[in-house]
A and B are shown apart, each in its own frame.
Chain A
Amino acid sequence: MSGEGPRPTILIVDDEAQMRRFLRASLGSQGYSVIEAESAREALQLAASHNPELVVLDLGLPDRDGLDVVRELRGWSRVPIVVVSARGREDDKVAALDAGADDYLTKPFGVRELLARIRVGFRHRERGDGSPVSAVLEVGPLTIDRARHEARVRGELVHLTPIEWKLLVLLAENAGRVLTHRQIVERIWGPSSTTLAHHVRVHMAELRKKIEPDPARPGLLLTEPGVGYRMSDP
């Protein structure tokens, strides 16, 4: 963040003092203003009173489920939420993402990863959902021209089925951000679709064959195991 304007405020919700200390130090040094909450109750109070620009939320809170915090916040706020949870709690993460959280981090994580998530969160917030987007999307080697319905990788045109096209556009629009299987199904096939997660996997495998030089070592279309997919945002 540059020195222009007020410093963006980030709300850190974690009951562990050491985690808060680390987050405060690392985010503070990056020019963010940090407020902290130890419990769900406190978090909701601070979110209402200070109106932070982003929330980093640990799902394991002493008083209430972190998932409740996500749902409640989403009741009246569009603030980006990055949830934090340990490996093996993939279901919790998926539930939080489906409830409206923007991204997740698996403990333990490095500062670089955290900052990348925060940057993506801000970017999507700035863009918003209703704001007009340019017809051409560029992510790494990928260029998508929505007006002409064309996708190119390193300049080469790729032929996509309608579903693959929708999938690619969806992931590119949310580049850097994780999308759960359910979110992908809902956005492509519609909310009442009976399409299952493995259909998404099959289309994804086909898409990779067309986009990735080595589908066994994807560089662009990343799998988030047990959660969903993410288009890497270099």
Chain B
Amino acid sequence: MARRAERPRRGAHEVTHERDDRPDPDRLLERLRAETARASRAHFKVFFGFAPGVGKTYAMLESARRLRAAGTDVVVGVALTHGRRETEALLQGLEILPPRRVEYRGRMLEELDLDAALARRPGLLLLDDLAHTNVPGSRHKKRWQDVLEVLDAGIPVHTTLNVQHIESLNDVIAQITGVVVRETVPDAMLERADEVELVDISPEDLLSRLREGKVYLGEQAARAVQHFFHRGNLLALRELALRRTAERVNRDVLAFREEHGVESTWPTADKILVCIGPAPASARLVRSARRMAAGLRAPWIAAYVETPASTLWSDAERQRLEGHLSLAESLGATVVRLSGVNISDPLLTYARRNNVARIILGKPTRFRLFDLLRGSTVTEIVRGSGDIDVHVISGDAAPEPTARDERQGRAVISPSSPIPWPKYGWAAALIALTTGLAALADGQLGIPDVEMLYLIAVMIAAIRFGRGPSVVGAALAVLGYDFFFVAPRFTLTVGDGRYFLSFAMMFAVSLVISTLALRIREQQQDAVQREERTAALYALSRSLGSAADLAAAARVTAEHLSRAFAAGVVLLGEDGAELRVIAVHPPGTSLSPDEQGVARWVHQHGRSAGLGTDTLPGAKVVCVPIQTAASAVGVAGLIPAEPLTADQRSYLEVMIRQAAVAFDRAELAEKARQAALRVKTEELRSTLLSTVSHDLRTPIAAITGAGTMLRDDPGLPPEVTAEMVSTICEEAERLEHIVSNLLDMTRLESGAIDLRRDWVPVVELVGGALTRLRTALSDRTVTAELPEELPLISVDPVLFEQLLVNLLENATKYTPPGSPIEIVAAREEGIVSIEVRDRGPGLPPGDEERVFERFYRVASAGQPGVGLGLSICRAIARVHGGTLVAANRPGGGAVFRLTTPAAGEGPR
């Protein structure tokens, strides 16, 4: 079967496809891109053989010695000499990377030290045995994943591989040799190789080497080995290996031709689509499709159609489906998940839209009756396929455990889930109840009514309990009907032969009804699940829409992820070179240092890792990169109670993508905000400089003048000396005042103020301010009206006193000397107000708000100062959650009204 699939007949439309003599510009562009990528990526060479013992390691080491002689910095990561002297001799003089020793089940095992290899950065790393499975607990499950990481780091690698380890040939080889190989390597690895060197000897030579004991057989059972090293097997394996290599050579030739404008025999890029499901045979379908695609060098797609019936699959079936999908992915397929009421429609629609030339289907093994009821998928697809070729490939009826299942140590579960006995009981009880009801109403009901009653019961059983119970219910209904209601009653014998027809019809109608009811139920369940996911996604996007900044977006995402996957969630964002926790849910969730390591790896490599994935599967956390179009912005780490299924993981990725967009947007918004802030700060700075330079220079000039006078002129009269000294003191005080105002303003503006709130009586604040301004207020009548019932207010005592000092100072500056000042505090609805009232000239009309602007000074006043006092007052009021406004008083003068929240009754 496999061979048939490798040489498929050509589809009709391929022949009619028009050819163009000029190379397709798009393809040339793609080639150019590929060339560039290849030039920049690390060289990867595979020494390829058809069986153990052909001399791959020997060939690899020999070539490494040559390269070393030519000056390449060669390091041996892993070389399995298996004690063969000739091979060991080749290792002499090569640098060998010390292995990592791992204890596993009481044995000391040696593994590649990946981190050491990456840190060493050799010019060439030798890693024997590409198909090797790492000891559990290593970073990757497989050596080929290690190789990919090394290559990604830009380090060239040489490795060895036997043909039986190639994933797509796995089942063919199992058929030929009877030995199931569990260690497989995705075909993509061989395709990634820049060079494949076939190491070939004749099977006869190999067998004689085997007899001489020169072939290392590992710990495989002797019988299996003998079976494997059978001459016929070796011939077949050699053919496969040669053909694989030849295919590569052929492709290189074609590529060369195309590159150079030689008329191409390249077939059109018709796609192959394989439709898979949970049936064990699907694995074969996938491999067949892969071989067909490789033969045609066509891209291929593995599609799975989710229908309402999918909702009834057991966990085992789902796991198997996911296994098939990831097998297809690892073999290079594009995996698509379609959905619809049936399989054929969405599949055909997708195929048409995507220029699919061939569809591969499995041969159904189902009972015919279902096809009658539901319509055969194969028939529907063939009928609707039009000019698309449809290949129907037989599947093994017996469930074939896939290598994957065994690898992961899962029990191979039979397709059906345990029988839900209680549901059968309920179905039977329902029929019994119906029988009872019909018996009670016996006499009123005619025979057809009883039949109807049973049909309703069967339908209910179908809806409530599923297929099996409803079928049993239908059978019981027929029996009950016969026993209780059909004459002669209370026997199973039937007087009138026509009743047999009636029973058959009743049973058939029951089945049809139950099938229909079931489909409705399935569709409904399906719709509900979809609805839930859509709703969750919608909720997430809505919450993200209203998230103001990155922190809020992260918090929202963490919450939603935690709810959707019943998992602890930690979101990490990029902070320079490090990852920093930006949100967790539920609170208290955290990552251990190891788990942080997983997250870092994910961030660096842009791939998911951790629990349930192929990389670091031993971790308790599963980490998914958060990537935007521009860059990787962070990592989402989930600690679920149970490993996520691949289906859940792809749903997770959808949610993360949505979050990533929001993060991106939040970051842009943040950048825009910072840019705006910078502009504003810049403006402020220039105003500040121009204003301050004048205001600072004036007192400095006065101090310098007076100081030099005192120093240079010792014979000054005492009254002049006294005047100079007091000028110095006053001006220094003014200077200090300006500087502390500037400092206060800067601290308040930058938000660097750390409020030290405490409960303080208003009288203490007012008292403090009046005490500080004792001298300045000495010529004034200051009345303080502070009622007894004033509550304590929660403020920063130092800042709030400063606020009052500034307000009072402002009043002394802008009102005539000797005019009165009143301080009136009152408790109002939810606030405490403090008013500072004066009897000065008042504020220029319309300037009541402008007085709070920075550097604003009432033009006429001619008072010294920088115009910061009031803006500082307002800033202090605001950081306390209060307000400060100014107004003119009836009867002349200004009033500054300060309010601050009165939090309930305060403490005590």
Contacts and interface: CB of A to CB of B under 8 A. Distances in A.
Interface in B729-769: 732, 736, 740, 743-744, 747, 756, 758-761, 763-764, 766-768
B797 A225 contact: yes
Interface string B764-780: 10111011000000000
B770 A225 contact: no
21 contacts: A88-B743, A88-B747, A88-B798, A90-B756, A90-B798, A196-B907, A197-B758, A198-B760, A204-B764, A205-B761, A205-B764, A208-B767, A216-B766, A216-B767, A216-B823, A217-B767, A217-B771, A218-B771, A225-B768, A226-B756, A226-B796
B798 A205 contact: no
Contacts of A52: none
Contact of B736 (A88, A108, A208): A108
Interface string A214-225: 111110001101
Contacts, number: 63
Contact of A215 (B767, B782, B801, B823): B767
Given A88-B743, A216-B784, A201 B770 contact: no
A202 interface: yes
B10 to A, nearest CB: 85
B676 to A, nearest CB: 29
Interface of A: 87-88, 90-91, 108, 196-198, 201-202, 204-205, 208, 214-218, 222-223, 225-226
Interface residues of B, number: 28
Nearest to A110: B729
Contacts of B761: 201-202, 205
B758 A225 contact: no
Given A201-B759, A226-B798, 5 more contacts: A108-B736, A216-B784, A217-B767, A217-B782, A218-B767
A226 B797 contact: yes
Interface in B860-908: 907
Contacts of B743: 88
B767 A201 contact: no
A198 B767 contact: no
A226 B765 CA distance: 11
A224 to B, nearest CB: 9
Contacts of A217: 767, 770-771, 782, 784
A10 B527 CA distance: 87
Contacts of B764: 201, 204-205, 223
Contacts of B544: none
A231 B209 CA distance: 105
A215 B740 contact: no
Contacts of B768: 223, 225
A107 to B, nearest CB: 9
B786 interface: yes
Nearest to B796: A226
B792 interface: yes
A215 B763 contact: yes
Nearest to A229: B764
A202 B736 contact: no
Contacts of B760: 198, 201
Interface centre among A88, A197, A204, A214, by most chain B C-beta atoms within 10 angstroms, is A88
Nearest to A204: B764
A217 to B, nearest CB: 5
Interface centre among B747, B761, B801, by most chain A C-beta atoms within 10 angstroms, is B761
Contacts of B823: 216
Contacts of A197: 758
Contacts of A208: 763, 767
Contacts of B792: 198, 201-202
Nearest to A215: B763
- The 7 A-B pairs with the shortest beta carbon distances in the complex, nearest first, are A198-B759, A216-B784, A226-B798, A223-B768, A205-B761, A225-B801, A225-B798
Contacts of A215: 763, 767
A225 B769 CA distance: 9
Given A108-B736, A226-B797, A198 B766 contact: no
Contacts of B784: 214, 216-217
A198 B762 CA distance: 12
B840 to A, nearest CB: 21
A87 B798 CA distance: 10
A104 to B, nearest CB: 14
Contacts of A225: 768, 797-798, 801
Nearest to B760: A201
Nearest to B801: A225
A217 B784 CA distance: 9
B788 to A, nearest CB: 9
Contacts of B766: 216
Contact of B771 (A87, A196, A201, A223): A223
B744 to A, nearest CB: 8
Nearest to A107: B736
A87 B797 contact: no
A109 to B, nearest CB: 11
Contacts of A218: 767, 771
A218 B768 CA distance: 8
A216 B823 CA distance: 10
Nearest to A202: B761
B773 to A, nearest CB: 10
A197 B761 CA distance: 12
Contacts of A87: 740
Contacts of A226: 756, 796-798
A126 to B, nearest CB: 29
Contact of B763 (A91, A108, A216, A222): A216
B740 A216 contact: no
A202 B905 CA distance: 14
Contacts of A88: 740, 743-744, 747, 798
A102 to B, nearest CB: 21
A88 B766 CA distance: 19
Interface centre among B744, B767, B823, by most chain A C-beta atoms within 10 angstroms, is B767
Given A198-B792, A202-B792, A205-B764, A216 B759 contact: no
Interface in B299-342: none
A215 B825 CA distance: 14
Contact of A223 (B740, B744, B767): B767
A201 B743 CA distance: 29
A208 B782 CA distance: 19
Contacts of A204: 764
Nearest to B788: A209
Interface string B790-810: 001000111001000000000
Contacts of A202: 761, 792
Given A88-B743, A205-B763, A215-B763, A222 B758 contact: no
Nearest to A214: B784
B789 to A, nearest CB: 13
Contacts of B763: 205, 208, 215-216
A198 B759 CA distance: 5
A131 to B, nearest CB: 32
B349 to A, nearest CB: 71
A202 B732 CA distance: 37
Contacts of A214: 784
Interface in B10-33: none
Interface string B345-379: 00000000000000000000000000000000000
A216 B798 contact: no
Interface centre among A197, A202, A208, by most chain B C-beta atoms within 10 angstroms, is A202
A196 B906 CA distance: 13
Contacts of A198: 758-760, 792, 907
A225 B760 CA distance: 11
A225 B744 CA distance: 16
A218 B732 CA distance: 28
A136 B17 CA distance: 118
Nearest to B805: A225
B640 to A, nearest CB: 44
Interface string B172-183: 000000000000
A204 B756 CA distance: 20
A150 B758 CA distance: 32
